[in-house]
């Protein structure tokens, strides 16, 4: 495998994070080693064994339709042929986490940035930053769903606007991404199911988010989410549950500028709190929660 083009480390609200070169790169598929393909295969098999009872049907259906499999790391070009025909989205290769405005601009133009490199075997269970497995296995399948695909674009457009409004607006909007695109749950006839990429790409959190008594599960509420801090280094203390993807897309119809202004004087909520007015689906026991570390 080539070497990722890491540019610098920067202190952010999420701690000390690596920043990468922002250019779009061709997926260097021929440079993946047997170990890289084996890491993909191991992660793919483990998640696909777990997810039939845990992930939402749209995710599972889309992943099959895209032809992702365990034998080798998928080629972006192959996935793009299928994506282009279904929703007009396209994946592009990137070195890793992008500055927010670059990231939003890609989404606003229906381009999803996928990290081209995959984690090492000793990082199978946890990696702090997005790699190819998280981006491709976790995020890309739902881009095949027309309503979710439109939500992602609307989010990117909202991100570009929030970036122009200021840092507090961006914090509000980032929480929406976190509690939906990364860690969202959806109600299906068979029960609660996962759609968030951060969950479907994690064996531990896939089980925890659906089966554990520890976390709160609360009905989706845009302003509530925008005020809620989150966890980056432990399982979430709270998951927000949508009824369908239309609910998510509809939430992005209003102009967020007045909402940011309304929320500005208010304090944020701790990640594990239950608030008056919450539609509580399950109130968590809080077992195993660390008392600090919300961001």
- Provide the 8-state DSSP code for 39: H
**By rule CB under 5 A, what string of x and - marks binding of each residue 163-202 to Fe ion?**
----------------------------------x-----
246 is catalytic: no
Nearer to ligand HBI, 32 or 155 (CB): 155
Which one among 40, 73, 91, 130 touches ligand HBI, defined by CB under 6 A? 130
The 10 Å CB-count burial string (b at 16+, else e) for 212-239 is bebbbbbebbbebbbbbbbbeeebbbbb
Reduced to 3 states (helix: H, G, I; strand: E, B; else coil), residue 212 is coil
**Cβ–Cβ < 8 Å for 57, 20:** no
201 is catalytic: yes
Pick from 287, 164, 171: nearest CA to 235? 287
103 touching ligand HBI, by CB under 6 A: yes
**Cβ–Cβ < 8 Å for 218, 238:** yes
Pick from 261, 279, 273: nearest CA to 230? 273
108 touching ligand HBI, by CB under 6 A: no
CB of 276 to ligand HBI, least distance (A): 28
Pick from 53, 54, 83, 55: nearest CA to 68? 83
Radius of gyration of the chain (CA): 18
95, 106, 139, 205: the catalytic one is: 139
Residues 6+ apart with CB under 8 A from 265: none
97 touching ligand HBI, by CB under 6 A: yes
Nearer to ligand HBI, 74 or 113 (CB): 113
By CB under 6 A, which span of 33-41, 69-77, 97-105, 264-272 interacts with ligand HBI?
97-105
Pick from 148, 149, 152, 142: nearest CA to 62? 142
Which one among 172, 174, 202, 209 touches ligand HBI, defined by CB under 6 A? 174
94 binds, among Fe ion, ligand HBI, none (CB under 5 to 8 A by kind): ligand HBI
Q: Which residues bind Fe ion (CB under 5 A)?
A: 197
Residues that bind ligand HBI (CB under 6 A): 94, 97-98, 100, 103, 113, 130, 174, 177
Q: Where in the sequence numbering do the catalytic residues fall?
A: 134, 139, 182, 201
């Amino acid at each position: 495998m080539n070497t990722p083009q890491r540019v610098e480390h920067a202190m952010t609200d999420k701690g000390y994070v690596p920043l990468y070169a922002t250019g779009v790169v061709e997926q260097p598929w021929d440079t993946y080693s047997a170990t890289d393909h084996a890491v993909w295969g191991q992660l793919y098999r483990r998640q696909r064994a777990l997810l039939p009872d845990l992930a939402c049907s749209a995710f599972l259906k889309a992943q099959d339709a895209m032809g992702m499999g365990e034998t080798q790391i998928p080629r972006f070009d192959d996935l793009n042929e299928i994506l282009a025909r279904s929703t007009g989205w396209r994946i592009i290769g990137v070195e890793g986490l992008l500055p927010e405005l670059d990231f939003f601009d890609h989404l606003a133009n229906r381009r999803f940035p996928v990290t081209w490199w995959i984690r090492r075997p000793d990082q199978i269970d946890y990696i702090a930053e997005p790699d190819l497995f998280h981006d491709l296995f976790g995020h890309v399948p739902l881009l095949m769903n027309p309503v979710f695909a439109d939500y992602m674009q609307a989010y990117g457009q909202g991100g570009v606007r929030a970036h122009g409004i200021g840092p507090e607006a961006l914090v509000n909007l980032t929480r929406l991404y976190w509690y939906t695109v990364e860690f969202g749950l959806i109600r299906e006839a068979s029960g609660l199911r996962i759609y968030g990429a951060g969950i479907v790409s994690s064996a531990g959190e896939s089980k925890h988010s659906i089966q554990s008594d520890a976390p709160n599960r609360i009905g989706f509420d845009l302003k509530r989410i925008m005020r809620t801090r989150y966890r980056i280094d432990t399982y979430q203390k709270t998951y927000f549950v949508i009824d369908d993807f239309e609910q998510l897309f509809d939430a992005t119809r209003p102009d967020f500028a007045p909402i940011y202004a309304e929320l500005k004087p208010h304090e944020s909520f701790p990640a594990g709190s239950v608030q008056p007015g919450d539609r509580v689906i399950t109130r968590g026991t809080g077992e195993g929660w660390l008392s600090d570390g919300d961001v």
